[in-house]
Structure 1
Amino acid sequence: MNSHLLNGHYQILKLLNDREDGKTYLVEDVNFPDSQFIVKQLRPPSSNPQTLTILRRLFASKAATLEKLGQKNDKIQKLIAYFEENEEFYIVQEFISGNPLTDEIIQGQPLSEDQVITLLLEILEILVIVHSYGVIHRDIKPANIIRRESDKKLALVNVGTFNEAITNTVDNLEYMPIEQVNGNLKYNSDIYALGMVAIAALKGLPAKEISNLRSQKNQLTGEIVWDNKNLKVNRKLAKIINRMVRFDYRKRYQYATEVLNDLKKLINVEDDQQKQHHKKLLLVLTGVVGCIILGVGAWQLRSPKPGSDAELKLYQEGVNKYDAGNYEGAVEDFNQAIKLDPQNALAYNKRGDAYYRLGDYEQAQADSSQALLLNPQDANAYFDRGFAFSQLGKYKEAIADYNQAIKLNSKNGYAYYGRGLALAQLKDNKGAIRDFSKAIALKPRYTEAYLQRGIVRRRLKLRQAAIQDFDTVIKIDPSDAKAYYQRGLTQSINKQKYVALKDYTEAININPKYIEAYLNRGDLYSDLGDNVEATENYNTILKIDPKFIPAYIHRAIHRFSFGNYQGAIEDYTTALKLDPNNITAYNNRGNAYLELGNKKAANQDYSQAIAINPNNALAYYNRGVIRSKQKNKQGAIADFQKAAKLFQQQGEQDSYQDAQKEIAILQHNLAPAPTTRPKSNNY
């Protein structure tokens, strides 16, 4: 045992690794006996004083980041401390008791598909957090994935942020993509490495065999060839892994969230296929029992005839195309299957699903209705038709169908969820909460039900309860950007602006194209007086979608608030080119023209807003302000009277009082009040 105490209190128990760039020790803190930690020594490439000064700053910055990461997720190895000794840097990390994945990936003993999918899901959820902090792991490999002894969950260790800051060594070539070898590190370099781990697990290959696999490339494409005839792998899983390990990083998945979403879709499709299989059996059995009990043909599901190979083949091809996302092709196959057997309830049911995916909700509803005519006991058809009715805005009809689905299958959490959505649309908020709660009771990890219940609770001003729902979603799925966004909205309503900013940022880190999160974050920065950050958020939206009208409107409102009236006019004008009937843009552009002294242009914009919507109270009020300034007393009174009437009808009491005040001033032949200003839409 080494007698030297690192940093005065870490007793070295064992040398774990000795490399050119530093050593790794298992240590014990003498101040806390039986407490074991990992200490890494990182030798700087140079002892030049100037270099050391720069490295110290980098080291401290990286340490702070890793400390936050460990606090964020208990599956990321925690940073305990860091220090410098004899011009060498040291980090003290949590010792995780367990076994590395190298103990599970054994030569010739491949893991099952389910095991590999679970492995990918667990590590990807961790990577979402790591990447959201601007950190790239750099060293994803089985040795750095530990199955914890405490709960058998996977944890990620040796996040490479320190090596990146202090050393320039290149290691782990077996799992490393070419751009990382060349020093052009990307976030999806980690995705490549994880994909290689998945391949190793599916094939039962240790690290030394991975090097041989990398040399087996397709001569035409240059991609790794690993999925051969002897390896039976779900083609959709293979497709996901192939995209993870594409040679060119630009053709790979760009974000860990994208891989997670595709894996979840794969799991859902498999669940749906199993559900369809059980549904077929249920329908056939129910038909037989019904005929025996009732003795009459009240209904009969005709399963494909024993010799109808063509019908069976068409139906299965349609299902395969549906599962692959080719909904148009699926509809064509189901059409042919229905021609061969017009009584095929399953084909109608599945064709309705395909039409729903294509956005043809009328046809989806019609197909579900036909399936129900053929089999009135099909709970799934009621469920499907309920969703079609909801999309058509027929919420009462949707609720009736969900009621039938629940009557036939009271354990269907999805039916309660669907009915909850419809009730929420009808403003039956308490009923919606009851249904979402029932869905959660049946499916405790049903994140969408928690999310929607949180939204309705916020609507009822039960904000703390809403936040608890969003917290639960995040706990179940840390990569759910919608939950961070909705929690941010709730915190913003609670005037917790900085907390809301953090949530919007989390949502954006998970989904860098989350337009609504940028929009709300921009508005918050604007409220906080941060011109640069607000503008940057609106600009980012317009880079993602140059035709997103609300971004122009919100940026214009922001510019107006900072006195940039000409910039606001330009944004409103662009919005009107995209939507010539946008009343908000006309009304607010009129305000900007008025600030620049262009009363004529302002009057034209207010009048245009009124022409589009004769019940627009703001436009009447603002035109009244203009007419008052132009000494058009009768015209101003008429506009304020119209505005007052509309404000009163709309329950806007403060604005109603403002309009009445302006009328009183004009009727007493007084000059316009100096504080009279036009009103703006806040969109």
Structure 2
Amino acid sequence: MNSHFLDGRYRILKALNDGEKGKTYLVEDVNLPGSQFIVKQLRPPSSNPQTLTILRRLFASKAATLEKLGQEHDNIQKLIASFEENEEFYIVYEFIAGNPLTDEIIQGQPLREDQVISLLSEILEVLVLVHSYGVIHRDIKPANIIRRESDEKLVLVNFGTFNEAIINTVDNLEYMPIEQVNGNLKYNSDIYALGIVAIAALRGLPANEIFNLRSQNNKLTGEIDWRNKNLTVNRKLANIINRMVRFDYRKRYQYATEVLDDLKKLINVEHNQQKQHHKKLLLVLTGIVGCITLGIGAWFLQLPKPASDAQQKLYQEGVNKYDAGNYEGAVKDFNQVIELDPQNALAYNRRGDAYYRLGDYEQAQADSSQAILLNPQDANAYFDRGFAFSELGKYKEAIADYNQAIKLNSKDAYAYYGRGLTLAQLKDNKGAIGDFSKAIALKPQYTEAYLQRGILRRRVRLRQAAIQDFDRVIKINPSDAKAYYQRALTQSINKQKYAAIKDYTAAININPKYIEAYLNRGDVYSDLGDKLEASEDYNTILQIDPKFIAAYTHRGIHRFSFGDYKGAIEDYTAALKLDSNNISAYNNRGNAYLELGNKKAANQDYSRVIAINANNALAYYNRGVIRTKQKNKQGAIADFAKAAKLFQQQGEQDSYQDAQREITILQNNSAPAPTTRPKSGKIEKN
């Protein structure tokens, strides 16, 4: 056995598992003496050449994805290589020195709650990334979670992706939810399995007792009744686990990020992080809104503290309320501080921050100005006032304040970032890109600066450079949904539709309520002719927000595209109930009425567009089509002439030529109905 080589280089040291579907070996790479790896053999169910060809393609695709996953996260077992020998497939994994979780979950020895919370958090962090790549582990159980010897971290191993793709079997039913057993795998199937692992850990149950556990159902709810009288568990933790293991996947947590959020609330991690890194987190998570709070700590070095205990207490209460999102309460506390000490520059600054968050930019600007009067050398006061000016549309004043902030502190990455945002508003793309680049040079992990630079680079058609910026954000923070979304937009512009779908899906997995990602993914599905997938995305948006107008108009365009004109009319009508001046809805509904032969209704819709916006070329063109069908030659020529003039002014040369051609046909007394119309209802999709 020891003399046997796989792929001509992997010497078998030991057979770890020998099953009917394949074997697992501990091997040494003879090219790297002393190195050890795990090799897993997969035996295809058939040697039919056509089947093998399909399996080879699947195998290569899955291997490439898992190889990239291992590179992205240190807590995922790395895929080293893959190969085929004698019509059998092999995967080479890194060898993880450590012990499986089965060594920690011992019968009769339950783990503590904090140990279980830590276990869940570590694996969920991994699942966020895994699911963002469209991968489902499929086989989460204690044996596939290794506690690495070198750093005591948990590592997820033995992805079941190949098993499903190559040998198409289902094993280890102890931890699998019913939908997976039935072949209807979901992302939250992994969440269910992890929930069962957590229960086993809290109860001290080995794998052979999990079946008995799952048969212990609550008579009223039908769910697993895992809490016995001898087990005391924090109620909130128990509720989280119960939701992880709901029998119906639709009632379960849908995404790993949701479970993580609830766990963080449970252990108060978010609160502690906000206290320690509040300013930087606000900047990263909320862009402009957050920027205004950064750098406040420097005030404590530059300005005197409130003189009395009462002032200090009031000030701290205001800060606490601000951190908790109670901005009105914070304003009241800072008001009292200022009444006690009208020279307290820091109180003015923090009150200005609170007013900013409340959307009162005039008052925010006034408070920042007062802070500047009290301390003209503080860069942060200029920085804060710059954001207030920017929100008020006073961009030149904002630029002046950012310049002063940079003059006082040339190493402040956030000041360059703020100035870059304002320059972008002024359409100075080159200057804005330069400022974002400067911010990145000063702060190489500044994800918001990369994100904004990427958006601008896409705007100026530097699409590959834009993708590189979004790639960088994702590398720094694999859970940044905005970066996946922006990269998807760029991929879509580049006609890389399947890549765009993958990125939109990753954004949605991270943020299940990311409406814009559903909308754009639906549009891509629609372009590809994937009728059901597109409809499901538009429908999901309307479940999240029934008043989201674009979902109706986009679904209307989708329905129109496959001939469901009545359905399209229903959607455009719903949009118009929410916005009676929605031009694209009128234009598109007119087109749908026209397809159904209702010329009168179509004409009314086009005329309504013109009444709202007398420069809408598309409405004139479409009304010209109606008038031609109604044999109103002069009216049609007038509409086409107006459309042609507007199209030419707007630089739409093809549409201009269409309109001119229709005029020529009518003037030559040949009046067949036009056969070509430009697309109607162009929609702003951002």
Q: TM-score range by the shorter chain?
A: 0.7 to 0.9
Match of 1:294 in 2: none
> For 2:674 and 2:621, how far apart are their aligned partners in 1?
16
Counterparts of residues 419-568 of structure 1 (less than 5 Å):
419-568=419-568
- Asked if structure 2 preserves the Cα contact closer than 8 Å seen for 1:71 and 1:78, the reply is yes
> For 2:327 and 2:319, how far apart are their aligned partners in 1?
9
Greater mean deviation of Cα atoms: 463-472 or 639-648: 639-648
Match of 1:650 in 2: 650
Match of 1:576 in 2: 576
- Asked if structure 2 preserves the Cα contact closer than 8 Å seen for 1:519 and 1:537, the reply is yes
Greater mean deviation of Cα atoms: 309-318 or 668-677: 668-677
Instruction: Verify: 1:224 aligned to 2:234, yes or no.
Output: yes
> For 2:624 and 2:675, how far apart are their aligned partners in 1?
14
Residues 83, 339 of structure 1: alpha-carbon distance in 2 compared, 3 angstrom cutoff? same
Q: Secondary structure at the match of 1:393?
A: coil
Residues 135-156 of structure 1: CA distance to partner in whole angstroms, max 9, x if unpaired?
356236996243769xx99753
Residues 564, 193 of structure 1: alpha-carbon distance in 2 compared, 3 angstrom cutoff? closer
Note the aligned Cα RMSD (angstroms).
Answer: 5.3
Match of 2:63 in 1: 67
- How far is 1:218 from its partner? 13
> For 1:514 and 1:441, how far apart are their aligned partners in 2?
31
> For 1:117 and 1:370, how far apart are their aligned partners in 2?
47
> For 1:500 and 1:554, how far apart are their aligned partners in 2?
18
Residues 208-256 of structure 1: CA distance to partner in whole angstroms, max 9, x if unpaired?
xxxxxxxxx999x96438xxxxxxxxxxxxx9xx699655438997533
- Asked if structure 1 preserves the Cα contact closer than 8 Å seen for 2:662 and 2:674, the reply is no
> For 1:141 and 1:370, how far apart are their aligned partners in 2?
63
Residues 522-568 of structure 1: CA distance to partner in whole angstroms, max 9, x if unpaired?
22222223323332332232233222211211121122222222221
Residues 284, 448 of structure 1: alpha-carbon distance in 2 compared, 3 angstrom cutoff? closer
Residues 671, 163 of structure 1: alpha-carbon distance in 2 compared, 3 angstrom cutoff? closer
- How far is 1:417 from its partner? 1.2
Matched to 1:481, the amino acid is: A
Q: Secondary structure at the match of 2:382?
A: helix
- Asked if structure 1 preserves the Cα contact closer than 8 Å seen for 2:198 and 2:241, the reply is no
- Asked if structure 2 preserves the Cα contact closer than 8 Å seen for 1:399 and 1:422, the reply is yes
- Asked if structure 2 preserves the Cα contact closer than 8 Å seen for 1:101 and 1:147, the reply is no
> For 1:10 and 1:662, how far apart are their aligned partners in 2?
73
Residues 643-679 of structure 1: CA distance to partner in whole angstroms, max 9, x if unpaired?
2333333333333333333334444444255425465
Match of 2:600 in 1: 600
- Asked if structure 2 preserves the Cα contact closer than 8 Å seen for 1:195 and 1:244, the reply is no
Match of 2:276 in 1: 270
> For 1:611 and 1:62, how far apart are their aligned partners in 2?
56
Match of 1:293 in 2: none
Match of 2:223 in 1: none
> For 1:556 and 1:417, how far apart are their aligned partners in 2?
39
Residues 446, 577 of structure 1: alpha-carbon distance in 2 compared, 3 angstrom cutoff? same
Greater mean deviation of Cα atoms: 131-140 or 159-168: 159-168
Residues 14, 535 of structure 1: alpha-carbon distance in 2 compared, 3 angstrom cutoff? same
Matched to 1:398, the amino acid is: A
Residues 158, 324 of structure 1: alpha-carbon distance in 2 compared, 3 angstrom cutoff? farther
- How far is 1:622 from its partner? 1.6
Residues 16, 342 of structure 1: alpha-carbon distance in 2 compared, 3 angstrom cutoff? farther
- Asked if structure 1 preserves the Cα contact closer than 8 Å seen for 2:436 and 2:450, the reply is yes
> For 2:414 and 2:661, how far apart are their aligned partners in 1?
54
Residues 274, 440 of structure 1: alpha-carbon distance in 2 compared, 3 angstrom cutoff? closer
- How far is 1:124 from its partner? 4.8
Residues 346, 618 of structure 1: alpha-carbon distance in 2 compared, 3 angstrom cutoff? same
Matched to 2:68, the amino acid is: K
- Asked if structure 2 preserves the Cα contact closer than 8 Å seen for 1:549 and 1:575, the reply is yes
Greater mean deviation of Cα atoms: 658-667 or 455-464: 658-667
Residues 142-186 of structure 1: CA distance to partner in whole angstroms, max 9, x if unpaired?
96243769xx99753345778996533759xxxx99x99xx9975
Matched to 2:141, the amino acid is: D
- How far is 1:283 from its partner? 3.9
- How far is 1:419 from its partner? 1.2
Match of 2:305 in 1: 303
Q: Secondary structure at the match of 1:144?
A: strand
Q: Secondary structure at the match of 2:334?
A: helix
- Asked if structure 2 preserves the Cα contact closer than 8 Å seen for 1:368 and 1:384, the reply is yes
Counterparts of residues 8-23 of structure 1 (less than 5 Å):
13=13
- Asked if structure 1 preserves the Cα contact closer than 8 Å seen for 2:620 and 2:639, the reply is yes
Counterparts of residues 295-444 of structure 1 (less than 5 Å):
301-305=303-307, 308-444=308-444
- Asked if structure 1 preserves the Cα contact closer than 8 Å seen for 2:658 and 2:677, the reply is no
> For 1:367 and 1:542, how far apart are their aligned partners in 2?
41
- Asked if structure 1 preserves the Cα contact closer than 8 Å seen for 2:16 and 2:25, the reply is yes
Number of aligned positions between the proteins: 620
Counterparts of residues 113-192 of structure 1 (less than 5 Å):
124-131=124-131, 132-135=134-137, 138-139=140-141, 144-146=146-148, 155-159=155-159, 166-168=170-172, 170=174, 186-189=189-192
Unaligned residue ranges in structure 1 (runs of 5+): 44-48, 51-55, 106-112, 200-204, 208-216, 226-238, 287-300
- Asked if structure 1 preserves the Cα contact closer than 8 Å seen for 2:14 and 2:26, the reply is yes
Q: Secondary structure at the match of 1:681?
A: coil
> For 1:196 and 1:433, how far apart are their aligned partners in 2?
51
Greater mean deviation of Cα atoms: 644-653 or 32-41: 32-41
Counterparts of residues 205-224 of structure 1 (less than 5 Å):
223-224=233-234
> For 1:680 and 1:356, how far apart are their aligned partners in 2?
40
- How far is 1:445 from its partner? 1.2
Matched to 2:619, the amino acid is: A
Unaligned residue ranges in structure 2 (runs of 5+): 47-51, 105-113, 207-226, 282-291
> For 1:191 and 1:315, how far apart are their aligned partners in 2?
45
Matched to 2:653, the amino acid is: Q
Match of 2:210 in 1: none
- How far is 1:78 from its partner? 3.7
Residues 438, 38 of structure 1: alpha-carbon distance in 2 compared, 3 angstrom cutoff? same
> For 1:655 and 1:60, how far apart are their aligned partners in 2?
48
- How far is 1:518 from its partner? 2.3
Residues 87-132 of structure 1: CA distance to partner in whole angstroms, max 9, x if unpaired?
xx99855234555699xx9xxxxxxx9xx99999875543212234
- Asked if structure 1 preserves the Cα contact closer than 8 Å seen for 2:655 and 2:678, the reply is no
State the percentage of identical aligned residues: 69
Q: Secondary structure at the match of 1:512?
A: coil
Match of 1:109 in 2: none
- Asked if structure 1 preserves the Cα contact closer than 8 Å seen for 2:146 and 2:154, the reply is no
Q: Secondary structure at the match of 2:479?
A: coil
Match of 1:295 in 2: none
Match of 1:214 in 2: none
